[in-house]
Amino acid sequence: MIGLGCVTFGREINEEAAFAIMDYAYSAGIRHFDTAAAYGNGASEKIVGRWLASRRPSDITIATKLLPPFTHLSESLERLSRIDILYLHRWDRNIPPEIFNQGIPIGASNFTLEQLENLPFQYIQNNHNLAVSELSPELRQHCKKNNITIVTYSPLGAGFLTGKHQQGVQPGSRFDIMPGHQQVYFNEQAQQRLRKLQEVSARTGHSLVHLALAWALHQQDVSTVLIGGRTTAHIDQALQALAFNDEKIFAELISH
């Protein structure tokens, strides 16, 4: 299933553009919207909240995330008016036990298997794409055994898998705005995966974006893949990729 990641709202695109994307996503059948208190220092939550108030959809799941010390739930609730899934956005040794007694399903975002164990999480949301994955086989098995729903994000590796950064980081891109992301992707292993993607793309005639999205959208055990964007065309890309399912090509993409 495709979910809409709202990280660009209020940071890389304004409210008008964000509303257009949410309207388009909803009209296309996307019913899972994901934001976070940290996105734009609350701007994304505010924009999503205003969209919810003006459109009043009843058949939608709203997820948000809190950073440690996880004490600002009331502020997120005020901005959004409703929260259907609450993620702890980053591991912290001092997770308050009462966070699990809020009457909201609790998830873990960017947690390892060791951090996930022994806590009653119902969801996990980790980075997972052709270049970089924080979804190990052991973590998948743990989730399956404990009925933890897997959500993944960044199917295009924050734009890395589009190939547009090969001549240097593009101004205004995620890697430019958030330089810390560069060390995650600008390494030899990720570059090898990108080269393999380029080889398969050249041979099959399918674009890098189409293949990377399709691979991520058809991962076994993954319930929802969050896709972000700055225009409605990015929604169309994901929908087209969802309709493409070629196991032989997907296997080639991760072969050595």
Residues 38-62 pLDDT 10s: 999 999 999 999 999 999 998 999 9
pLDDT value of position 247: 96
Nearest to 86, CA basis, from 102, 110, 68, 69: 102
pTM of the model: 0.92
Alpha-helical regions (H) of 146-253: 174-177, 182-185, 188-204, 208-217, 232-242, 247-253
- The residue behind tokens 């980075």 is 127
- From 69, 70, 64, 77, select the one nearest 36 (Cα to Cα): 64
> How many residues can be counted in the chain?
256
Q: Which residue has the tokens 């009462």?
A: 98
pLDDT tens across 156-204, in order?
998 889 986 565 555 655 655 565 665 677 688 988 999 999 999 999 9
DSSP state, residue 128 = B
- Closest residue by Cα to residue 175 from 197, 160, 161: 160
Q: CA nearest 185: which of 256, 228, 130, 137?
A: 130
13 vs 7: CA distance, rounded Å: 10
For CA atoms 128, 134, 138, 142, give the dihedral sign: negative
Q: Are 254 and 130 in contact (CB under 8 A)?
A: yes
Rg, C-alpha atoms of the chain: 18
Q: Pick 186 or 87 by higher pLDDT.
A: 87
